[in-house]
Chains A and B, each alone.
Chain A
Amino acid sequence: MSNEVVRDVIVHDMCLRDGMHAKKEQISTEQMRTVAAALDKAGVPIIQVSHGAGLGGNSLQHGFAPHANEEYWDAVAPVLTRAKMSVLLIPGLGTMNELRSAYEHGVRAVHVATHCTEADTSPQHIACARELGMDTAGFLMMAHLNTTAGLVEEAKKMESYGAQTVYITDSAGYMIPENVVEIITALRNELKPETEIGFHGHNNLGMGTANSIEAVRAGATRIDASVAGLGAGAGNTPLEGFVAVCERVGIRTGCDLFALMDMAEDIVFPMMDHIVRVDRSSLTLGFAGVYSTFLLHANRLGEKYGLAPRDILMELGRKKMIGGQEDMIEDTALTMLKERQATSAGV
């Protein structure tokens, strides 16, 4: 093989974590192995593997996967020749004991995620990840719900706890390129030069690739994406599309574009239960600023209670519900139903 790969940006694949949401957490270990091997072969350097909600995710709230995270890691680790595995840890859901277990099963990188205003729930977990020697990122979710100055403040907290990378996470796919440029530029100016900046996009407004490219141009060196966009809502930034644009504009990713295109077509699209795309409900997520994972819950509960998913999602946006509050989708639907029944009864 040739020399060391030169990269301007580290692309981090989300198919086997965020993609779990798009599959209602039902991805088999065999599918995981197939996808991971193809990503490894195509030169994707980091692959996130776990339940969609990360460590501790198996629950009635977030759905039960057919396997424990440990079984997924044990299935994927042997097929990787150069890529490393990462995991998501949301304090309040996942714990440090689970992170230690992840390390024992070969996971070497972690996104420690908090809501974009609550970085101070992460110091224990970030410190624990660093002690384990993991590639440690702080991950500020639903970033559109904070100001640029507020995000800088939260990012600095994560940096001070030991995060080597701080991510701006557009969980609702609400941002447009000018938002991304403003935020990433501010972070690049304020964080230490050795702290990397990442961007995690969702494609609900069709902006995933454009936002990610602008993030790199403004100083981000880590981009989360998933092949064929397999992820919550209208999906993550489609990885192969992002790599193609990078090639056009001269950003080096170290990935094999055609291999990624082939795996999107031959492996990931055929896995989908529904085509992950911008449609009425997922566009509503981006428009109303709602957590992308709420999509399938709103569709299901809309059907159960005879409500339009768009109405439920708009109401959740108005109430400023955030990631992890999936229980409030059914609660909101039930309250809407009561209100409608009261209105139609002429009260």
Chain B
Amino acid sequence: MANKVKCALIGSGNIGTDLIYKIQRSEFLEPVWMVGIDPESEGLARARDMGLKTTAEGVDGLLPHVKADGIQIAFDATSAYVHAENSRKLNELGVFMVDLTPAAIGPLCVPPVNLNELENTMNVNMISCAGQATIPIVHGVSRVQSVEYAEIIASLASKSIGPGTRANLDEFTYTTSNAVCKVGGARRGKALCIINPADPPMIMRNTIYCLTDDEPDQEAITKSLMDMIEQVQRYVPGYKLVNGPVFEGNKVGVFMEVAGLGDYLPTYAGNLDIMTAAACRTAEMYAEKILKGEFVLEGAA
């Protein structure tokens, strides 16, 4: 395909850098700009080496180039605190925003659950790595029978967690818990996150517990979960069921592992991949619509 939608990446940390690899492989997306705040940062240097234009002036450094370079989609991998402002400035110029922070000002998206139901909006939120890894499972149970409560526990390798996530743990918790209900379909939800420094680093692990209202239909739930896992594996091949589902009374327990592709960080950082792969898949869906003229981006001007 000759035409691709041009993209800017905001935030030159782990997530932004990994996104470059994912977007470069895309049929519909092309990475053009990388935005940072530190001229000395390794992330910006790496982006330049990979052929991107860079600015260390934050989003304001990108704004003058948006029209000239035809930027139509931006990915924000900074922090919940600055996202709203970044989004406002870029939306004004008609740039569609994919939010990888826990700010969650736009609709929440987990591709295999609700990508096809998302409307034409100017901002879509990817929740959190833990949300991307666990909500498909919660939905896999709740589409079979009603779930009164779902709880997810994400264990992440210390080396895969950058300063942004570390400074946003409360937001991570609230946004993920909320999404377990809104997207996962549980009536109440809770998210727990553990950062483990073991060396060699542990692969991202996720445990999902669902409490069903009635006795769980073991056969139907197991089948639904296997289908859902296959859906996720299409864009994250290292998404794997380790143990379960374990049924105990009305409790369903599922023990997952997420190995990454090893694009930027090694394969243990599945949390990075599932987030960037989900963001990329979401952006591709909008890019296809943009290219076909089904979704017209409008700036405020």
* Interfacial residues, chain A to chain B (CB-CB below 8 A): 56, 59-61, 91-93, 95-97, 115, 117-118, 120-121, 123-125, 145, 319-325, 327-328, 330-331, 334-335, 338
Contacts and interface: CB of A to CB of B under 8 A. Distances in A.
B123 interface: no
Contacts of A96: 170
Contacts of A330: 243, 246, 253, 255
B194 interface: yes
Contacts of B246: 330, 334
B293 interface: no
Interface residues of B, number: 33
20 contacts: A61-B192, A61-B207, A92-B193, A92-B194, A93-B173, A115-B195, A115-B196, A117-B197, A120-B166, A124-B167, A124-B169, A320-B196, A321-B196, A323-B194, A325-B153, A325-B196, A328-B205, A330-B246, A331-B205, A335-B242
A327 B195 contact: no
B35 to A, nearest CB: 24
A340 to B, nearest CB: 14
Contacts of B149: 60
A91 B169 contact: yes
B253 A325 contact: no
Given A95-B173, A124-B170, A334-B243, A328 B155 contact: yes
Nearest to B156: A92
Contacts of B198: 319-320, 322
A324 B192 contact: yes
B281 interface: no
Nearest to B200: A320
A67 B246 CA distance: 28
Nearest to A95: B170
Which of B167, B207, B244 has the most C-beta atoms of chain A within 10 angstroms of its own C-beta? B207
B6 interface: no
Interface string B144-164: 000001010101001000010
A120 B165 CA distance: 10
Contacts of B172: 92
Given A95-B173, A117-B158, A335-B242, A327 B197 contact: no
B190 interface: yes
Given A95-B173, A120-B166, A121-B195, A61 B242 contact: no
A120 B153 contact: no
A95 B155 CA distance: 18
Contacts of B190: 56, 59
Nearest to A93: B192
Contacts of B173: 56, 92-93, 95
Contacts of A97: 170
A160 to B, nearest CB: 14
Contacts of B174: 95
Nearest to A97: B170
Nearest to B208: A327
Contact of A118 (B151, B197, B253): B197
A56 B155 CA distance: 17
Interface of B: 149, 151, 153, 155, 158, 163, 166-167, 169-170, 172-174, 190, 192-198, 202, 205, 207, 209, 211, 242-244, 246, 251, 253, 255
A334 B194 contact: no
A320 B153 CA distance: 17
Given A120-B163, A123-B167, A92 B242 contact: no
Given A95-B170, A331-B242, 14 more contacts: A56-B190, A60-B151, A92-B169, A92-B194, A92-B195, A93-B193, A115-B195, A118-B158, A118-B195, A123-B167, A320-B196, A322-B194, A330-B243, A338-B243
A319 B246 CA distance: 22
A125 B169 CA distance: 10
Nearest to A150: B197
Nearest to A326: B153
B244 A334 contact: yes
A21 B58 CA distance: 47
A331 B195 contact: no
A115 B197 contact: yes
A328 B204 CA distance: 12
B244 A92 contact: no
Contact of A327 (B153, B158, B170): B153
Contacts of B169: 91-92, 121, 124
A325 B174 CA distance: 20
Nearest to A331: B255
Which of A91, A319, A327 has the most C-beta atoms of chain B within 10 angstroms of its own C-beta? A327
A273 to B, nearest CB: 21
Contacts of B166: 118, 120-121
Contact of A325 (B155, B167, B243): B155
B247 to A, nearest CB: 13
A232 B192 CA distance: 21
A110 to B, nearest CB: 15
A263 to B, nearest CB: 34
Q: What are the 3 A-B residue pairs with the smallest beta carbon separation, nearest first?
A: A327-B207, A320-B198, A334-B243
B251 A60 contact: yes
A205 to B, nearest CB: 22
A91 B192 CA distance: 9
A93 B173 CA distance: 8
Contacts of B158: 117-118
Contacts of A115: 194-197
A107 to B, nearest CB: 18
A325 B192 CA distance: 10
